[in-house]
Structure 1
Amino acid sequence: MSNEIIKDTVKAAARNLVDQLSPHWKSISKATLEESPSKGTPRPEFHTKGSFLYVAYENKKVLYVGESSISVKRRLLHDGTGAHNKKGWYERVTHVCYARFSHDELPEPYRKMLEQALTIILEPEFYGRSAKAEAADE
């Protein structure tokens, strides 16, 4: 099997997985994410525990694809040294799309696989080496 056939097969499988996610996506502005209260009830869905996939956008440009077992807000803003608001690309974010599932619906290995499928299809500007290289430059 040639490399091109393998890549095409993987890309087709990734496309199928990503297409299955389409009814689950919700979008929030960066301002809504940052301004949502950390305490009190009810909390917005993106600020509750769950099994999340998320995509950070600058308008229509995909900046970053990620997954989290905690809330999207915590992952982006309060997750210690891993918080994305400490990365240079975060300033460019205009909105975030996310899909939330229970941990039973989307266990960690499946969530990580879907993150990779999203990365293959969406081709984010910052991911893997590019995100690590940017972090090293800061």
Structure 2
Amino acid sequence: MRSPKQPAKLTMLLLLALLLFCYGVGNVHCSTIHENRVDLQALLDFQQGIASDPQGALSNWNTTTHFCHWNGVNCTTTPPFRVTQLKLSGWNLAGQITSSLGNLTFLAYLDLSGNNFVGPLPVIGHLQQLRHFL
């Protein structure tokens, strides 16, 4: 006959295994689940427009790190996380500003000063929260 403690032990072991798996024992990183694919894709599209990043400022802009932890990106504090600030000043980035920035509909602060962007500024009319643009 099984002890009543057996199911509890099994449950604890399964929870421990899941936690270890999520914290990197396996190849999955639970912190990289992106609840907001629109903002993620907008930032990745913006990154594609960057032709030169001499200081490696965007080096952690990849899907193994949650976009709210990327250099220069600030987000809301609760899920689904939305980009509220993009502070990319003084990094000597060169390239074009892609229209995908217009999809960051919670963006309130945008600082692209001190870079070498070329081409026209895309329409960013969907940025109704934007209060500061440098």
TM-score by length of 1: 0.27
Structure 1 or 2, whichever has the larger Rg, is: 2
Higher helix share: 1
- Relative contact order: is structure 1 or structure 2 higher (C-alpha 8 Å, sep ≥ 6)? 1
